[in-house]
Amino acid sequence: MSLLLASPELELVFSALLLTLVAGLVVALLAARSVLTCILLMSAFSLTMALWLMTMDAPDVAFTEASVGAGVSTMILLGAALSSTDVIPSLRPGRLWFPAVACLAAFIGMALIVPDLPVFGDPGSPPSAYVGRLYLEQTPHDIGAPNVVTAVLASYRGFDTLGETTVIFAAGVGVLLLLGGQVRSPDAAPEDVSLRASAGSPVLSVAARLLIPIICLYAFYVLAHGEFGAGGGFQAGVILAAALILHALVFGVRETMKALPVGVVRACAALGVLGYAAVGFLAILNGGRFLDYDALLSPVFEAGLPSSHLAGGHHHWGQRIGILAIETGVMLAVASTMTAIFYAFTGRVSRSDAAGAS
Amino acid sequence: MSPFAGAQFASPEVIQHAPALLIAAPLTAACVAALSPSARWAWFASLGGALVSLWMALCLAAEVARSGAVSYAVGGFAPPLGIELRLDDLSVFFCLLVSVMGVATSIASASLLRLELPERDHSLMQAGFMLAFTGLLGLTATGDAFNAFVFLEVSSIGTYALVAMGASQDRRALTAAFQYLVMGTIGATLFVIGVGLLYAVTGTLNMADMAERLAASSSDTAAIAGLALITVGLALKAAMFPLHAWLPGAYSAGPTMVVAFLAGTATKVSVYLLIRFLMDVAGGLESAGEGLLTWLIAPMAGIAAIVASVQAVFQTETRRILAYSSIAQIGYVLLGVTSGSVAGLTAALFLLFTHAMIKTVIFLSLGAIDHRGSRLETLAGAGREAPWTIAALALAILGLAGAPFTAGFLAKWRLLGALADDGRIWAVVAIAASSLTALVYCGRILETVLFRTRRPAGATISEASPAALAAIWFLAASSVWYGVDASALYDLARQAAASVMGASP
Amino acid sequence: MTLALVLTPYVYGLGFFMMAAGLLIALTSRHLIKRLIGLGVFQTSAGVFYILLSKVSGGTAAIRLEADSPAAEALASRLDAAYIAAHGVDGVVYSNPLPHVLILTAIVVGAATLAVGLAIIVRIRETYGTVDFEEISALEARALRDVREDEA
């Protein structure tokens, strides 16, 4: 996603300027005295960060940062902050100086090592010249997917991604444990957290009916397209969850929970992780290593399939099927966990509102 | 000689995949537990996951004893492109530690959960427990620095919520869990920044490859800064003085099964990573790892040993006493680790293992006798109502105090001997002073449970359930056994120490 | 490369500043939600550091192009042939994909931490009636004092 500015050096300057903007938002955050301001600044921080990531040739990361950082995180932050006090009182200065000095010292310490770090944009630095370059060279031969980030994420370092999916699942388990006591059945669900004034508005409901299928379709596009361009299971999962959340906002959480009960959501999250692990076990049963997608298909069967035009005649059906399978597992786990977290938060917030009102 | 030399626990086909199965089994169990319709099925799942992991850990111990370090290329990609699981004597030692504690906790878990939480939460608690277990096993097995960060988070994220679930008994669990979350996340992030600096210098994430490239690199300011950040991050996770503030709250308010498991494993695995990075990965950097060990960790460990023991004496809540005692014990272990000799490290590992068993017994039995109330007085005279549990508790407390003929005594004795041989008299004095202080609080606990009679109203005590008793007595009996004949565990510890010291000349 | 030499301390400095600022917010804010936001900034800034390592001057995103495609030719037109030969892969210069993969993981971990942290905060608010750090500390201290007085 190079910007194609006149010279590569100008690109570096441009990205340094964007990073300055990001850091400026952090300064504003330091000074902010209202929770709502903090949340909006955090959201702006994530969006600007996503722009900066585009200038750094990291579209996959930018996609994730925009959807997870600016989207989902902001939403659950708003959900949790709704009924807490907004003003942040200042700390007594006596409590501030020690952490402040420690952080300043850490900053100076880190600044001292800058001369020893790789030069910005240096193609010959150890990270760019060694393993990073090997991935770029080997991917067509080993994986056959044009998007090297997806190849590394899903295949070379697929074990990391399994761990990451597990982290999301663990967060879902944790949130359901802490907040889920009340959201087991749709009848116990809160009356409504939809945009109350406009609930039932025909414009909104028609728009939502049109949009939700399109968003879902887009999620599957992002999932399947991860091999070729920016995207993959995580982003697809977040988008799918966004469709469900839109449904809840327009038609009310109770309707959404009737269509998709918490128990089902929880089971889907577990099944997503389980499906990912199952691909690993299947590879072992076929005589490969854990998560070795090349072992998924028998060579005889694979020889019968047409070879990919991208891979210079190599057969990579095992890799492609494996990547698609684990990305689907990731999507399922992420979408269900996000939905479960949304259920848990909205359930709680309106409950405590009701308690506060009565 | 390793006690596992010549043992064969499974067919070669299974052993070949043991490193992956070790981690994948509890992960599968976690998913099954979350899916299971009833608490009982979730318990079976967690028990099954823990047992398979223990089986795999035993297979790996035998395999490492037979043919040296085991390397497993996940996904079939050789390192440094792929992620390597690498088990040598040191990591197998910690795998065994984690899986033994996991099995013991899992056996006792169903009855402990029934005492503390409503039944609808049990299956998710078991799932969260299995996820933490997966994370800790992954940490011991992985040979990739970034993968270690991922498993660090797998082991932590669920744990924060699990600790907060203690709120049904003690509302302070919530604030303790929040503090644990903030400190734990800062620790993990410092760790990942440190790994990033090492990556900036070496261009690789595989630990063995990293060690080689660090040894060959010319400028190493960034690498030293990276190691320092990793050290601080792991020190936070290991509750090393003065970064221990999160631990007493979390240990005193969390649900019993969670605390018992964490006390036996989580801080210990952080110590493992510290050893791995400072003595193995930094082995080639002439002074960096050693400098951090000698000038940063050792003094802090000495202070921890004394200060935390004194703080333990002044606590009024049973679990807080034990939490501060754990911080002091981490101090002893790190004093052994920093001694720089094989004997010192061996003694430290031996102490770490026995202490894990002892603390797990103590926390399990405290939770299993169903006493309402956190203060020590509520346990007065518990020996009469729950003789079997209290007998195990008393044995463990004796071990904690370092009474003769217990594993605790033997461990401390060997540690003091090794430190004296290395000429670290100040460390010997610190441990001796701390141990004398420990006699005071251990004596107080023993006196209360065995001889006191006046108990505050409302405190009820009943004998632990058979399953919990089985787990408690299994660990208590092993700790007694290692007090009498320590050779098996001691040999394992010596092999582990030798393997890492051999790698760092 | 001279411009890059000037930019290097600047961009790393910004990254390290964000780390320090995030850490400070996470450690000192009185509002628990702001603490979590600070924690998020701290985690994200670790990502900034990794991404800074990944940039290759004149490179493009790590999605493989055919060297004779129009996009690849447009990219190549700005660079010398020697640079491409030395640092390109099959005729195209790419940025390093590995840090991208790692930071994708880290972002997801950050969101997971945020979710669990917020869930704990919601419970804290329900239990203590406040999310102000100092008020909670005062409440806990008072509870401890009450217990002591009950005994006396």
Chain B residues within 8 A of C127 when measuring between CB atoms: 167, 171, 174
Residue A304 pLDDT more than 70? yes
Residue B504 pLDDT more than 50? no
Q: According to the model, what pLDDT value does residue A200 have?
A: 65
Q: Which of A207-216, B195-204, B495-504, C31-40 has the lowest mean pLDDT?
A: B495-504
**Tokens at residue B370, please?**
């169903």
Q: What is the mean pLDDT of residues A203-214?
A: 90
C38 has a chain B CB within 8 A of its CB:
no
Residue A356 pLDDT more than 50? no
CB-based contact C59 A123, cutoff 8 Å: yes
Q: What is the mean pLDDT of residues A268-291?
A: 93
What integer best gives the mean pLDDT of chain B?
Answer: 90
Q: What is the DSSP letter of A115?
A: G
Q: In C, residues 39-58, which contact B (CB 8 Å cutoff)?
A: 39, 42-43, 46, 49-50, 53
Q: According to the model, what pLDDT value does residue A6 have?
A: 64
* A170 to chain C, closest Cα gap in Å: 8
CB-based contact A288 B150, cutoff 8 Å: no
How far is the C-alpha of B315 from the C-alpha of A16, rounded, in Å?
53
Q: What is the mean pLDDT of residues A269-296?
A: 92
Banded model confidence at residue B505, pLDDT cuts 50, 70, 90: very low
- Percentage, residues of chain A above pLDDT 70: 86
For chain C, what are the domain ranges?
2-55+99-151, 63-95
Banded model confidence at residue C151, pLDDT cuts 50, 70, 90: low
Q: What is the mean pLDDT of residues C127-146?
A: 84
Q: According to the model, what pLDDT value does residue A299 have?
A: 75
Chain A residues within 8 A of B32 when measuring between CB atoms: 270, 274
Q: What is the mean pLDDT of residues B180-194?
A: 96
Q: What is the DSSP letter of B87?
A: E
Residue B241 pLDDT more than 90? no
Q: What is the mean pLDDT of residues B155-172?
A: 91
* A247 to chain B, closest Cα gap in Å: 26
Residue A37 pLDDT more than 60? yes
Q: Which of B262, B383, B259, B239 is CA-nearest to residue B311?
A: B239
Q: What fold is seen in the domain C2-55+99-151?
A: Helix Hairpins (1.10.287)
Per residue in A74-132, pLDDT (tens digit) is: 988 887 877 666 777 777 777 788 889 999 999 999 999 999 899 998 988 999 989 99
Q: According to the model, what pLDDT value does residue A194 have?
A: 44
Sequence letter at residue A215: I
Q: Report the range out of B282-291, B436-445, C123-132 with the highest average pLDDT.
A: B436-445
Q: Report the range out of A12-21, B217-226, C62-71 with the highest average pLDDT.
A: A12-21
Residue B142 pLDDT more than 90? yes
Q: According to the model, what pLDDT value does residue A217 have?
A: 94
CB-based contact B181 C120, cutoff 8 Å: yes
Element (H, E) at B46: helix B39-67
- Percentage, residues of chain B above pLDDT 70: 96
* B396 to chain A, closest Cα gap in Å: 32
**Tokens at residue A204, please?**
């909104």
For B370-405, give one letter per residue: b (16+ CB within 10 A) or e: bbebbbbebbbbbbebbeebbbbbbbbbbbbbbbee
Banded model confidence at residue A357, pLDDT cuts 50, 70, 90: very low
C83 has a chain B CB within 8 A of its CB:
no
Q: Which residue of A lies nearest to C129 if distances are taken between CA atoms?
A: A84
Residue A42 pLDDT more than 80? yes
DSSP codes, A1-51: -----SSHHHHHHHHHHHHHHHHHHHHHHHH--BHHHHHHHHHHHHHHHHH
Residue B320 pLDDT more than 70? yes
Strand, helix or coil for residue C39: helix
**Candidates C43, C117, C119; nearest CB to B189:** C43
CB-based contact B222 A125, cutoff 8 Å: no
Q: Which of A20-24, A165-169, A183-187, B51-55 has the lowest mean pLDDT?
A: A183-187
How far is the C-alpha of A305 from the C-alpha of A303, rounded, in Å?
5
Residue A306 pLDDT more than 90? no
Q: What is the mean pLDDT of residues B295-302?
A: 89
Per residue in C60-102, pLDDT (tens digit) is: 888 888 878 888 888 888 888 888 888 888 888 999 999 999 9
Q: What is the mean pLDDT of residues C110-114?
A: 94
Q: What is the mean pLDDT of residues C9-23?
A: 95
Which of A13, A14, A65, A120 is the best mutation test for C, with the most CBs of C within 10 A? A120
Query: Are the C-beta atoms of B85 and B141 separated by less than 8 Å?
Result: yes
Q: Bridge-partner residues for B71, per DSSP? A: B86
Q: According to the model, what pLDDT value does residue A3 have?
A: 53
Residue C120 pLDDT more than 90? yes
Q: Which residue of B lies nearest to A183 if distances are taken between CA atoms?
A: B120
Sequence letter at residue B168: S
Query: Are the C-beta atoms of A87 and A34 separated by less than 8 Å?
Result: yes
Q: Which of A225-239, A299-313, B47-61, B185-199 has the lowest mean pLDDT?
A: A299-313
Banded model confidence at residue B331, pLDDT cuts 50, 70, 90: very high
Residue B265 pLDDT more than 90? yes
Q: According to the model, what pLDDT value does residue B424 have?
A: 87
Which of C2, C5, C10, C18 is the best mutation test for A, with the most CBs of A within 10 A? C18
Q: According to the model, what pLDDT value does residue B423 have?
A: 85
Alpha-carbon dihedral A121, A149, C105, A66, rounded to 10 degrees: 80
Chain C residues within 8 A of B161 when measuring between CB atoms: 116, 119-120
Residue B277 pLDDT more than 60? yes
Q: Bridge-partner residues for B142, per DSSP? A: B85
How far is the C-alpha of B410 from the C-alpha of B399, rounded, in Å?
9
Of the two residues A357 and B433, the one the predictor is more confident about is B433
**Tokens at residue B116, please?**
């503390």
Q: According to the model, what pLDDT value does residue A183 have?
A: 52
Query: Are the C-beta atoms of A63 and A231 separated by less than 8 Å?
Result: yes
Q: According to the model, what pLDDT value does residue A1 have?
A: 44
Banded model confidence at residue A355, pLDDT cuts 50, 70, 90: very low
Of the two residues B233 and A302, the one the predictor is more confident about is B233
**Candidates A113, A138, A177; nearest CB to B221:** A113
Per residue in B485-495, pLDDT (tens digit) is: 888 899 999 99
Residue A197 pLDDT more than 50? no
Residue B503 pLDDT more than 50? no
Sequence letter at residue A181: G
How far is the C-alpha of B196 from the C-alpha of B305, rounded, in Å?
32
Chain C residues within 8 A of A8 when measuring between CB atoms: 57-58, 78-79
CB-based contact A128 C79, cutoff 8 Å: no
Residue A41 pLDDT more than 90? yes
Q: In A, residues 231-250, which contact C (CB 8 Å cutoff)?
A: 234
Per residue in B377-413, pLDDT (tens digit) is: 888 888 888 889 999 999 999 999 888 888 888 889 9
Chain C residues within 8 A of A334 when measuring between CB atoms: 108
Q: What is the mean pLDDT of residues C21-28?
A: 93
How far is the C-alpha of B487 from the C-alpha of B362, rounded, in Å?
24
Query: Are the C-beta atoms of B468 and B62 separated by less than 8 Å?
Result: no
Residue B233 pLDDT more than 80? yes
Banded model confidence at residue A205, pLDDT cuts 50, 70, 90: confident
Cis bond upstream, residue B26 (ω within 30): no
Residues with Cβ within 8 Å of C142's Cβ and at least 6 positions away in sequence, in order, are none
Q: According to the model, what pLDDT value does residue B1 have?
A: 60
Name all chains with 3 or more CB-CB pairs below 8 Å to chain B.
A, C
